[in-house]
């Protein structure tokens, strides 16, 4: 599913919403800053993988 942005994606997809809400709050906030760049679950997972690779705490 391709959404308009992250907000639209988590609104439309219950599985993506569950995944997003399972992430640490700080990471959720960082992802919201990239809102317009995340339109699919795959893109969300890539951003999370990137944040994890940078040692996100």
Q: What φ, ψ does residue 13 adopt, rounded to 5°?
A: -120, 110
SS3 content of the chain, % helix, strand, coil (to 5): 70, 0, 30
The pTM is what? 0.91
Helix axes 25-33, 41-53, angle to 10 degrees: 120
Distance (Å, rounded) from C-alpha 8 to C-alpha 41?
11
Give pLDDT tens digits along the chain (57 positions): 899 999 999 999 999 999 999 999 999 999 999 999 999 999 999 999 999 999 886
Distance (Å, rounded) from C-alpha 36 to C-alpha 56?
21
């Amino acid at each position: 599913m391709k959404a308009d942005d992250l907000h639209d994606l988590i609104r439309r997809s219950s599985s993506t919403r569950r995944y997003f809400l399972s992430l640490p709050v700080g990471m959720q906030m960082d992802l919201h800053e990239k809102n317009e760049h995340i339109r699919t679950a795959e893109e969300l997972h890539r951003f999370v993988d990137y944040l994890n690779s940078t040692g996100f705490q």
